[in-house]
Structure formats: C-alpha cells, structure tokens
Structure 1
Amino acid sequence: MPLHPDFNSLTGHTDEASPMNRRNFIQTAVGVGFAAATLPISAQTMIHTDSVGLLAGRVELSINGQTVPVYRAQPEGKSNLPVILVISEIFGVHEHIADVARRYAKLGYLALAPELLIRQGDAGSYAGIAELMKEVVSKVPDAQVMQDLDAVLVWAGQHGGDLERVGINGFCWGGRITWLYAAHNPRIKAGVAWYGRLSGPVNELSPQHPIDIAASLRSPVLGLYGGKDSGISLDSVRQMESALTKGHSGSEFHVYE
C-alpha cells in the first residue's frame, strides 16, 4: 500500500501479509467479515494480515453519550507510538479496513478505525448501496465526524499514542473525510485520501467540501485517484490542484490512468 513520504519518516519497518483463505461472509462485528453491500468478494483478491505480535480488536468509546466501536491495532507491549486514523468507505469497519489497520500496526503504528456512521445506523447490515446511502450515509453530519475523530485521538493519547505524530488514511467516503479532518485538526501531520469526493452541493450536514478548505490546509495530503473514475471527475481533481496552489500544505495528487 503506498504511503505518503511523511508517514514513511515516522517508522522504518516493513510488513508482509499472507493470503486470505476464507470465502465470503457477512459482517458480524467490527473488523470481522465484509459489509453486505460489498458481497460477493473473491477470497483470492484479498490480503490477510495476521495479528501476531499485535494487540488487535474492538474497543468501545463513549462519545457524547454514544458508544462508538473502534477497531484498534498496535504493536504489543509498546508505547509512544505514532497514530494513524483509518477511515472506512460507506460500508463501515469491515475486514478490509481492519486489515489495513493491522498493516499499519505491523509498521509500528497505533492504528484506529472508528465506526463513524454508527449513530445513523449499522452500515454493514445493508444489502444495497442506494438504501445504505439514503438511510445512513446521507444523514451523517460532517461536524459529528470531526468531533468523533477528535475524541478518538484523545483516547489514543491515553493508550500509548504519540499525539505529536498523527496521520490519517481514508477510502472513498473516508477519503473526503481525510481532506476535511486534515484541515480541522492541527495535530494531523499527513494524510492519504483514496479517491474521496472533492466537491459537490453544500447543505447543513456538509457545509464544506475539500475544495473549499484547500487553501487553508496546512498538512500535506496525498490524493490517490483514478483517471477513469466516473464518480470523481478529473476536472474536479484539476480544480482541487489549482485550489491547493493558493495554500502551503504541500499536498499532491497521483492519478492512476
């Protein structure tokens, strides 16, 4: 998995993952199985990173009266660890997201993947993407996500994390959140956004998009996007690149043609 150079400077370890040997199954707990809306998934396409040498599994945080499950992975018996937030797509914290967290833990990070949609519903239980978007994702306020991530970082600082070394890595829906949170919290030193939406209509729940905060962004974000992605146009990527030139974050894009 490509890492931003700022991430690579935090630790000097490497990770090797073994092939996954389990067939398709539906999520039954945080970091276990796959969201129903992602099935079927071929086992041959998946990577499985073991938890040998790691403290890995579900923890629960109470945030503003809500229990928020978080998949945590970190090297066993170590502290003062750099922290990485792993932000899921709309499907929540399923096996792939948990695996990404374990990969970071193998590299020496305290990796935390919170269920940021939990107040609106169980993302893993929806069989259809349209229904999931309508019933859960469209109801999630950006402000709620920012507050939850702030609380996750507080917890990290109390459980072996070094809050002077914090990064964020997000996929799709989580890619958009990566841009926004890098601007929201000055503790973020670097981010990687995997094809997160950059612009769009604004409303009460989503008053800003990444393009709106580009000039004020201070931490470098690496945007990884697809040239043939019909959902996120190359025009929006180019517009974001232009907006970033008005700031000083050092952010950059890589477009996979």
Structure 2
Amino acid sequence: MGSTATLRERNFKLDLNPGSLPVFCAEPDTDTRLPGLILIHEIFGVNEHIRDLARKFAEHGLRVYAPDLLARSDLFPATEAERENLDVMRQAWMSIEDSQIMADLDVLFTHIQSQLNINGKTGSMGFCMGGAISLLLGCHEPKLAYVIDFYGRIRYGFTSKTKPKDPIDYLVPLKAPVLGLFAGKDELITAEHIEEFSQRLQQLEKSYQLKVYENASHAFFNDRRPHYDREASEDALQLVLAFIKKNSKEERPGPM
C-alpha cells in the first residue's frame, strides 16, 4: 500500500434516528476508488491519538472513518479531557448494549459502502474495547472485508444486560479474515484466552492470524500511553498494512 502525501479530513454526523453518530474521517485527497477502514477507538473515545491513527492509515491509501461509538450514552462526557477518566468511560460503555453498537456501525458501514470513491472493500480495526467491537462487527456484518483486533477482550469476565455474551461466543457467523495482535504481559487478555480464541477459530475453520508480542503490555500500539512499545508497534504496523492490502483489493468482473 503506497503512501499518499495530501489528505483531507472532516467531522460529520450520521442520523441514527434517534440520535446521531459523530464520525471523524481522514482520507487521501483524490476521487479514486479506495478501500474503506472503520477505525474503532479505545474506551476513551475519538481523541487526538485516534485522529492521528486515522491520518496515518489514510496516508497509506485508505478512507478512514472513526466513529465516536459511546457518544450516544447519557454518561458520555462533554470534553475530551473528561473522557480520560477510565471509570466514567467504562460506565458509558456499560450503558450501551453491544447490539446497539452493532446497529450504529451498520449505519456507518452502509454509508461508507454507498460512497462512489469506495472500492467496495471496507474492513474494521480496533484497539482494546475497540478491538473487541471490531471482532463483534466481523461476526455481525457478513460483507466486512477483514477484522483487525488489537488486544480486544476475548472474554469480558462478566455478563450483563448490555453485554450478554463474551466476544468469543459470537464467532459462528464470522466470514471476514481476522488479524489478532496481543501482548504477552496483558493482564486483561491472558495466554489462556488467546489459546482458547485460536482453538475456537480453528475449530470453526475461520481464516485468522494471531500474534503475541511476549514482552509487550496492553496498549502497546498507543504512543501516548506509558506501555507504548516501539518495536512491537512497528512490527504490528507492517503486519496490519500487509493484511489490509491482501484483503482490500477491488474485485473486478472477469471476461464475459
């Protein structure tokens, strides 16, 4: 995937009826048909780190859409500074049913796929909370081109009205290939969880690739957090770019 120097970016809202979904979009400044990417934030919402990631992947020829998925919650703070409070944001996440998040992403996916400058191949990538949501979207949306899951919960460790099942329990209808990137020192996603995930994907004959960075910790890809790991992050980026390139080529009709 080549790098594109000139970008354009914008903020817009999609009507959810009721409510709306705020979206940040970064994309190459061209009308050429390109792949789409749904970039799903950590629990802290769409912040400058997520916007930077959107720009980074847009430079590689993707039209990147980053939805603020927790904005529909009555508990969602008004400012990005307030959204740095993990406990507050966890309550906002817990207040929204996973099925509602999928419905909101349905609206975004349909919007992206309807754009004339999209080549019909749109995948998802998420981090931590967003990694689990990226996987759930792959299990929910049969036309998703691929799933990239950075250290998303495989098992929540609880069930509730809004989170009735663990992400691993939704895998049966999954059609998209999966790239899972995990950390060996992650206290949230254990080696046992990752092994169970791998075995379940294999049992269901899904297309997947998992990699564990044994010396890295949770959130190793976030260069604004204490656990950022440059070596793991750079290696993961190359895997991600190759995976996206492989799975986002436009399908052209063959000869009649």
TM-score (norm 1): 0.76
Counterpart residue type for residue 58 of structure 1: N
Aligned equivalents of 1:78, 1:127: Cα separation in 2: 36
Q: Which residue is equivalent to 2:204?
A: 247
Aligned equivalents of 2:141, 2:132: Cα separation in 1: 15
How far did 1:167 drift? 0.9
Q: Is the 8 A contact 2:94 2:163 kept in 1?
A: no
Q: Is the 8 A contact 2:44 2:84 kept in 1?
A: no
| Partner SS for 2:147 | strand
Q: Unmatched 5+ residue regions in structure 2?
A: 215-256
Of residues 92, 117, 137 in structure 2, which corresponds to 1:181? Answer: 137
How far did 1:232 drift? 1.4
Residues 136-189 of structure 1: per-residue CA shift (max 9 Å, x gap): 121121111111111112221343443631111100000000111011001111
Aligned equivalents of 2:26, 2:84: Cα separation in 1: 28
Residues 7-48 of structure 1: per-residue CA shift (max 9 Å, x gap): xxxxx3137xxxxxxxxxxxxxxxxxxxxxxxxxxxxxxxxx
Q: Which residue is equivalent to 2:39?
A: 86
How far did 1:208 drift? 2.5
Q: Unmatched 5+ residue regions in structure 1?
A: 1-11, 16-51
| Partner SS for 1:245 | helix
Q: Which residue is equivalent to 2:2?
A: 13
Q: Which residue is equivalent to 1:234?
A: 191
Give 4+ residue runs of structure 1 displaced > 6 Å after superposition. none
Q: Which residue is equivalent to 2:13?
A: 60
Counterpart residue type for residue 143 of structure 1: S
Of residues 118, 122, 128 in structure 2, which corresponds to 1:162? Answer: 118
**More displaced, 119-128 or 87-96?**
119-128
Q: Which residue is equivalent to 1:146?
A: 102
Q: Which residue is equivalent to 2:253?
A: none
Q: Is the 8 A contact 1:218 1:248 kept in 2?
A: no
Aligned equivalents of 2:162, 2:117: Cα separation in 1: 31
TM-score (norm 2): 0.76
Of residues 155, 169, 179 in structure 2, which corresponds to 1:212? Answer: 169
Of residues 103, 107, 119 in structure 1, which corresponds to 2:72? Answer: 119
CA pair 161-171 structure 1, distance change in 2 beyond 3 A = farther
How far did 1:211 drift? 1.2
Count the aligned residue pairs: 209
Q: Is the 8 A contact 1:218 1:247 kept in 2?
A: no
How far did 1:127 drift? 4.6
Aligned equivalents of 2:34, 2:115: Cα separation in 1: 9
Aligned equivalents of 1:165, 1:77: Cα separation in 2: 17
Aligned equivalents of 1:146, 1:85: Cα separation in 2: 12
Counterpart residue type for residue 89 of structure 1: E
Does residue 69 (structure 1) correspond to residue 25 (structure 2)? The answer is: no
